[in-house]
Amino acid sequence: MHQLAAFTHGLLYALLFAMPLSGIAAYYFGYTAVGSLHGGILKILLWAVIGLHAAGALAQHLYFRTDVLRRMTFG
Ligand code: HEM
Protein backbone atom coordinates (compact mmCIF):
# COMPACT_ATOMS: atom_id res chain seq x y z
CA MET A 1 0.00 0.00 0.00
CA HIS A 2 2.72 2.48 0.99
CA GLN A 3 4.82 1.31 -1.95
CA LEU A 4 1.91 1.94 -4.34
CA ALA A 5 1.41 5.42 -2.87
CA ALA A 6 5.15 6.18 -3.17
CA PHE A 7 5.17 4.91 -6.78
CA THR A 8 2.08 6.99 -7.67
CA HIS A 9 3.56 10.11 -6.09
CA GLY A 10 6.92 9.58 -7.80
CA LEU A 11 5.24 9.24 -11.20
CA LEU A 12 3.00 12.23 -10.50
CA TYR A 13 6.01 14.42 -9.69
CA ALA A 14 7.94 13.17 -12.74
CA LEU A 15 4.97 13.92 -15.03
CA LEU A 16 4.55 17.35 -13.41
CA PHE A 17 7.89 18.24 -15.03
CA ALA A 18 7.71 15.98 -18.10
CA MET A 19 4.35 17.32 -19.37
CA PRO A 20 5.18 21.05 -19.64
CA LEU A 21 8.79 20.36 -20.73
CA SER A 22 7.71 18.03 -23.55
CA GLY A 23 4.95 20.48 -24.55
CA ILE A 24 7.46 23.34 -24.70
CA ALA A 25 9.97 21.17 -26.63
CA ALA A 26 7.29 20.38 -29.22
CA TYR A 27 5.68 23.81 -29.45
CA TYR A 28 8.69 26.14 -29.29
CA PHE A 29 11.54 23.94 -30.55
CA GLY A 30 9.77 21.78 -33.11
CA TYR A 31 10.58 18.37 -31.59
CA THR A 32 7.61 16.55 -33.09
CA ALA A 33 8.64 13.16 -31.66
CA VAL A 34 8.58 14.63 -28.15
CA GLY A 35 5.21 16.19 -29.04
CA SER A 36 3.84 12.73 -29.82
CA LEU A 37 4.99 11.55 -26.38
CA HIS A 38 3.31 14.61 -24.84
CA GLY A 39 -0.11 13.89 -26.39
CA GLY A 40 0.39 10.11 -26.35
CA ILE A 41 1.93 8.00 -23.65
CA LEU A 42 2.56 10.88 -21.20
CA LYS A 43 -1.06 12.03 -21.45
CA ILE A 44 -2.35 8.48 -20.86
CA LEU A 45 0.10 7.94 -17.98
CA LEU A 46 -0.95 11.22 -16.37
CA TRP A 47 -4.65 10.26 -16.55
CA ALA A 48 -3.85 6.82 -15.09
CA VAL A 49 -1.86 8.33 -12.21
CA ILE A 50 -4.57 10.95 -11.51
CA GLY A 51 -7.10 8.08 -11.36
CA LEU A 52 -4.87 6.03 -9.02
CA HIS A 53 -4.30 9.04 -6.78
CA ALA A 54 -8.03 9.78 -6.50
CA ALA A 55 -8.90 6.08 -6.02
CA GLY A 56 -6.27 5.80 -3.29
CA ALA A 57 -7.63 8.85 -1.48
CA LEU A 58 -11.21 7.51 -1.66
CA ALA A 59 -10.12 4.03 -0.53
CA GLN A 60 -8.33 5.56 2.48
CA HIS A 61 -11.46 7.51 3.37
CA LEU A 62 -14.27 5.02 2.70
CA TYR A 63 -12.62 1.61 3.15
CA PHE A 64 -9.67 2.08 5.53
CA ARG A 65 -11.40 4.97 7.34
CA THR A 66 -8.21 6.99 7.86
CA ASP A 67 -8.00 10.81 7.96
CA VAL A 68 -5.81 10.96 4.82
CA LEU A 69 -8.49 12.57 2.60
CA ARG A 70 -9.31 15.10 5.32
CA ARG A 71 -5.61 16.01 5.58
CA MET A 72 -5.41 16.29 1.75
CA THR A 73 -8.36 18.70 1.65
CA PHE A 74 -8.91 20.68 4.85
CA GLY A 75 -5.44 20.20 6.32
C1 HEM B 1 1.09 20.12 -17.24
C2 HEM B 1 1.14 20.68 -18.44
C3 HEM B 1 0.47 20.14 -19.67
C4 HEM B 1 -0.49 19.17 -19.82
C5 HEM B 1 -1.19 18.33 -18.76
C6 HEM B 1 -0.77 19.07 -21.24
C7 HEM B 1 -1.69 18.22 -21.82
C8 HEM B 1 -1.96 18.13 -23.16
C9 HEM B 1 -2.98 17.30 -23.75
C10 HEM B 1 -3.94 16.42 -22.98
C11 HEM B 1 -2.92 17.48 -25.08
C12 HEM B 1 -3.85 16.84 -26.12
C13 HEM B 1 -3.23 15.61 -26.70
C14 HEM B 1 -4.23 14.90 -27.62
O15 HEM B 1 -5.03 14.13 -27.13
O16 HEM B 1 -4.20 15.16 -28.83
C17 HEM B 1 -1.85 18.40 -25.37
C18 HEM B 1 -1.48 18.82 -26.63
C19 HEM B 1 -0.50 19.76 -26.88
N20 HEM B 1 0.21 20.47 -25.95
FE21 HEM B 1 0.14 20.20 -23.93
N22 HEM B 1 0.01 19.98 -21.91
C23 HEM B 1 0.78 20.65 -20.99
C24 HEM B 1 1.70 21.65 -21.23
C25 HEM B 1 2.02 22.13 -22.49
C26 HEM B 1 2.95 23.20 -22.75
C27 HEM B 1 3.67 24.01 -21.66
C28 HEM B 1 3.02 23.36 -24.10
C29 HEM B 1 3.79 24.32 -24.93
C30 HEM B 1 4.01 25.56 -24.62
C31 HEM B 1 2.13 22.38 -24.69
C32 HEM B 1 1.95 22.20 -26.04
C33 HEM B 1 1.08 21.32 -26.61
C34 HEM B 1 0.90 21.15 -28.04
C35 HEM B 1 1.66 21.89 -29.12
C36 HEM B 1 -0.08 20.16 -28.19
C37 HEM B 1 -0.62 19.59 -29.51
C38 HEM B 1 -1.83 20.36 -29.95
C39 HEM B 1 -2.39 19.73 -31.20
O40 HEM B 1 -1.68 19.72 -32.20
O41 HEM B 1 -3.54 19.27 -31.14
N42 HEM B 1 1.55 21.65 -23.69
N43 HEM B 1 -1.30 18.79 -24.18
- Residue 75 has a pLDDT of 84
CA of 72 to the centre of ligand 1 (A): 27
Assess whether pLDDT exceeds 90 at residue 1: no
Within 1-75, residue ranges assigned H as helices are: 2-29, 32-39, 41-58, 68-73
CA of 70 to the centre of ligand 1 (A): 32
> What is the rounded end-to-end Cα distance, in angstroms, of the chain?
22
Model pLDDT for residues 15-55, shown as the tens digit of each residue:
999 999 999 999 999 999 999 999 999 999 999 999 999 99
The whole-angstrom separation of Cα 63 and Cα 74 is: 19
Model pLDDT for residues 14-25, shown as the tens digit of each residue:
999 999 999 999
CA of 49 to the centre of ligand 1 (A): 17
Nearest CA to ligand 1 atom 30: 24
